[in-house]
Amino acid sequence: MFTLAKQQGYYQSENPARDSAVNPRAAQPQETYAYDLEEIQTILAVLPEPAATAFAVAAFLGLRHGEIQGLLWENYRDGELYVSRSIWNGRVSDPKTRKGRAPVPVIRQLADRLEIHRMRSKSPVAGPIFANSRSKPLSLSSVVNRVILPALNRCEACGKAESDHHKADHRYKRDTRIPEWHGWHAARRGPRARMSAAAAARRAVAGSPAPVVDVGRVPVPIRGTHSRWVRRRATFHAAAAGRAALPRERCSGGGQGWSGSRSPRTRCRPR
């Protein structure tokens, strides 16, 4: 950045960051959190709409906070969502990466939620998918403070939200059966965590040289060269089928087939 500024004549001094160094006593980065599938389903069960649908988009599509705010109905077609923009602090911009513009396949569970959300919103064909009362993009930060936190932070005894518990005749104790809020990125990281767990299980069990996620009966390698939507499709379909981290079975009949063999006489054993 400073090199470009010097080339264009906006800055003539030395780069002030040239002699900088990282503080050796700086705090270590904290571990990031990723919701698992059970936590995602629990949160979806307690959240009201449209917060539940917005959270489902983050969990099942892996979209960023700003990309969810920027979603448009006209970009949802043929079972895929096209991410054409991102909104952060009211500013509209392009998606963060080039791959972020790729179409994202929508699984059936999320597609049903989106259709119900569309009907609840008077069946719009264009405009923001998540809109406020003025038909402008809904602020997800506001949704967190007004809807999500009160829904997740409830008393174990009476079920009241923490913000409404001051008039109760007993002490507030949070219901630990409901997952805590770790941010939109925790939902977005969930599919990635399941993909990594499935790949690790595959390598440990079968010694596979490349991470593999099962989609039905077809093993799909997950490599860095694959596009973003291919990785998501493999992850979400495997998670929806409930087989993301399960080892496949090796058939002992011919020694080369899988448990999906056509032969009914083939006996299978865990590999």
Statement to judge: residues 67 and 146 lie in one domain: yes
What does the pLDDT read at residue 232? 54
**Inside any domain, residue 20:** no
Between 22 and 93, the higher pLDDT residue: 93
Overall number of domains in the chain: 2
Statement to judge: residues 72 and 143 lie in one domain: yes
**Inside any domain, residue 184:** no
Statement to judge: residues 136 and 198 lie in one domain: no
Report whether pLDDT(197) > 90: no
**Inside any domain, residue 217:** yes
Report whether pLDDT(14) > 60: yes
Mean pLDDT over the full length of the chain: 76
- At position 113, the amino acid (one-letter code) is R
**Inside any domain, residue 88:** yes
- Kindly report the pTM of this predicted structure: 0.64
Report whether pLDDT(181) > 90: yes
Q: The domain spanning residue 148 has which CATH number?
A: 1.10.443.10
Task: Give the mean model confidence (pLDDT) for residues 243-270.
Answer: 42
What is the domain range of residue 47? 37-160
Statement to judge: residues 95 and 144 lie in one domain: yes
Statement to judge: residues 51 and 154 lie in one domain: yes
Domain boundary (160, 176, 206) is at 160
Task: Give the mean model confidence (pLDDT) for residues 43-63.
Answer: 94
pLDDT in tens, 128-138: 999 999 999 99
Q: How confident is the model at residue 194 (pLDDT cuts 50, 70, 90)?
A: low
**Inside any domain, residue 174:** no
Distance CA 36, CA 60 (A): 11
**Inside any domain, residue 24:** no
**Inside any domain, residue 171:** no
**Inside any domain, residue 266:** yes
Statement to judge: residues 83 and 122 lie in one domain: yes
Report whether pLDDT(183) > 50: yes
Task: Give the mean model confidence (pLDDT) for residues 72-91.
Answer: 91
What does the pLDDT read at residue 130? 96
Whose tokens are 């069960």? That residue is 45
